[in-house]
Amino acid sequence: MKVPPGGNCENYPEDCVENAVCQEMCTCNEGFQEEGDHCEANPDPGLGEPCDSIIQNCITENAECVGDAESKKCRCKDGYVLDGDVCSE
């Protein structure tokens, strides 16, 4: 059974729920918030903010959630460039 946010993980640091890390207690990763016994992506990430690649929750038009497991962030899609706080062709 996975350890929920706020749960003691000192003896089993690899057993935190998905999107959480052990720091004596399981803590949600940057860009995620505690929701009961799990960590959910912040609902409205903008460009450069942590996001969830499964639900692609970036709020900026023409942006997508990319990166490795520990550092997924909203970035402009291929073919678009950052123009202030929007992604333009």
pTM score, two decimals? Answer: 0.62
Reply yes or no on whether the pLDDT at 79 is more than 90: yes
Let me know whether 20 and 59 are in one domain. Answer: no
Read off the tokens for 14.
């690899």
Residue 32 has a CB neighbour count (10 Å cut-off) of: 20
Let me know whether 56 and 73 are in one domain. Answer: yes
Domain range for 22: 1-41
Reply yes or no on whether the pLDDT at 76 is more than 90: yes
Let me know whether 52 and 75 are in one domain. Answer: yes
Let me know whether 46 and 87 are in one domain. Answer: yes
**What DSSP letter does each residue of 32-77 carry, written as one string?**
EEEETTEEEE-SS--BTSB--TTTT---STTEEEES-TT--EEEEP
Reply yes or no on whether the pLDDT at 85 is more than 90: no
Half-sphere exposure of 60 (CA within 13 A, CB side): 25
Give the residue carrying structure tokens 């949600």.
28
Determine the pLDDT at residue 28.
92
Let me know whether 31 and 49 are in one domain. Answer: no
Read off the tokens for 34.
């505690």
Let me know whether 55 and 30 are in one domain. Answer: no
Let me know whether 55 and 76 are in one domain. Answer: yes
Let me know whether 50 and 73 are in one domain. Answer: yes
Over the stretch 53-75, which tens digit does the pLDDT of each residue have?
888 889 999 999 998 877 889 99
Over the stretch 17-58, which tens digit does the pLDDT of each residue have?
998 999 999 999 887 889 999 998 888 889 998 888 888 889
